[in-house]
Chains A and B, each alone.
Chain A
């Protein structure tokens, strides 16, 4: 069966510290992968998407970066966190040219 794993579930990090959030998908190959963020009181916003290994597209200018070192692995990173990076981060995947979406369980990041 197809599953998506995202960790950690909760993270509290000081301003200026690095960040690494990981997402892995099982049971499918060559998925589209996405990182979304939900800031307090706002809707989900697409940060990055990837249609293949090493292919990353950024939707909004920001302090974050993404990488896809393997087909089913998607990593969200930052070298130095800002207070404004706080939020709920969701990984998701879809099958190319099909419209079904599967979401991870999310990571709640608080930058202090």
Chain B
């Protein structure tokens, strides 16, 4: 069974700061997902990574398959980025089940 660890658990930043959230996992995977959960609970998929790096707007996600580690970066953070960010990994196969980290609560103050 894959163990997914995220750090930090809680993160408070000032608007404009560069944010990094880390995720490590214990077993090799087919893909890693970064998700965003707002206070209402709905989850939005931000990135899906199998290797390398992806960028979308102010968000950047990287993955190091050998080290079993991924990072989510937010440049020029804004209060609307405040949310829980969740890392999830999938082992592949026809059913493709995900194992989730506990999430990182990010609060960006104006």
Binding site for A on B (CB under 8 A): 4, 30-31, 33, 35, 40-45, 48, 50, 86, 88, 90, 92, 94-103
A90 to B, closest residue via Cβ? B43
Please indicate the chain A residues that have their CB under 8 angstroms from the CB of B43 in the complex: 90, 103, 106
A18 to chain B, nearest CB (A): 23
Binding site for B on A (CB under 8 A): 32, 34, 36, 38, 42-46, 49, 51, 57, 59, 88, 90, 94, 96-103, 105-106, 108
Please indicate the chain B residues that have their CB under 8 angstroms from the CB of A36 in the complex: 100
Contact A88 B48 (CB under 8 A): no
Please indicate the chain A residues that have their CB under 8 angstroms from the CB of B97 in the complex: 34, 46, 49, 59
What are 16 A-B contacts defined by CB distance under 8 Å? A32-B95, A32-B96, A34-B97, A43-B102, A44-B88, A57-B95, A88-B41, A90-B43, A94-B96, A99-B96, A101-B33, A102-B45, A103-B35, A103-B44, A105-B41, A106-B41
Contact A101 B41 (CB under 8 A): no
Please indicate the chain B residues that have their CB under 8 angstroms from the CB of A88 in the complex: 41
B49 to A, closest residue via Cβ? A99
Per the bound structure, the CA–CA distance linking A45 and B86 in Å amounts to: 13
B101 to A, closest residue via Cβ? A43
Please indicate the chain A residues that have their CB under 8 angstroms from the CB of B86 in the complex: 43-44
Please indicate the chain B residues that have their CB under 8 angstroms from the CB of A38 in the complex: 41
Please indicate the chain B residues that have their CB under 8 angstroms from the CB of A57 in the complex: 95
Please indicate the chain A residues that have their CB under 8 angstroms from the CB of B31 in the complex: 99
The 9 A-B pairs with the shortest beta carbon distances in the complex, nearest first, are: A99-B31, A44-B100, A43-B102, A103-B43, A43-B100, A106-B41, A105-B42, A88-B41, A94-B96
Please indicate the chain A residues that have their CB under 8 angstroms from the CB of B4 in the complex: 43
Per the bound structure, the CA–CA distance linking A59 and B48 in Å amounts to: 23
A98 to B, closest residue via Cβ? B96
Contact A49 B95 (CB under 8 A): yes
